[in-house]
Structure 1
């Protein structure tokens, strides 16, 4: 269940940082995209819109205004689902995703991982 963490950061105080660690610790393949290069839990943070394949889930850690330039990229990856973590809820992107047949969840990835709901 390959997951893209969009809004990745090397700042250990950020939830995206914690999410990468938990995903890796639970054995999920992870790709990370952020504004700065770095590495978290052995996963390199890529910049821009890298070509990625077989993305099952995109978990968002970008506020709605920062998401807009990524709309085509997100939809073009054809994920099975997008998780809108707290503060990332975006009605416009949710609608576009649903129209493209992508499952939309308003949830917290960390909570989903802790309660074993992530893989369902």
Structure 2
């Protein structure tokens, strides 16, 4: 299962960075999109939106306003689910996802991984 981290950061103290580390620790394939290009472990962070394929889960680390520009891109991926991490909750996007048969979940990726619910 491939996970796309949207809002990925090179800063180790950021939760998106911690999520990449933990997803890899748990053996998940990860692709990442962020404001700055770089690398976290073996995961490249891309600044430009790529043609990501076979994405099962999108985990968001962007506030609702910043998410708007990615609505169409994420919907086109047609992932199984989108995780809204704390601070990213967005009822408008949840509604759009639902209309496109994409599950959404308000949860913390780190907690889901640690509690074996991911």
TM bucket by the smaller chain?
Answer: over 0.9
CA–CA separation in structure 2 for the residues paired with 1:104 and 1:72: 15
Aligned to 1:17: 17
Aligned to 2:57: 57
CA–CA separation in structure 1 for the residues paired with 2:114 and 2:6: 20
CA–CA separation in structure 2 for the residues paired with 1:47 and 1:5: 12
CA–CA separation in structure 2 for the residues paired with 1:95 and 1:13: 31
Quote the offset at 1:52 in angstroms.
0.7
Root-mean-square deviation (CA, aligned residues, Å) is 0.5
Q: Which runs of 5+ in 2 are unaligned?
A: none
CA–CA separation in structure 2 for the residues paired with 1:92 and 1:74: 14
CA–CA separation in structure 1 for the residues paired with 2:50 and 2:91: 25
Between Structure 1 and Structure 2, the one with more strand by share is 2
After TM superposition, the score normalised by the length of structure 1 is 0.97
After TM superposition, the score normalised by the length of structure 2 is 0.99
Alignment of 1:24-103 (within 5 A): 24-103=24-103
Quote the offset at 1:26 in angstroms.
0.6
Alignment deviations for residues 19-59 of structure 1 (CA, whole Å, 9 cap, x no partner): 00000011000000001011001101011211010000000
CA–CA separation in structure 2 for the residues paired with 1:6 and 1:93: 14
Q: Give the SS at the match of 2:9.
A: coil
Q: Paired residues, what number?
A: 118
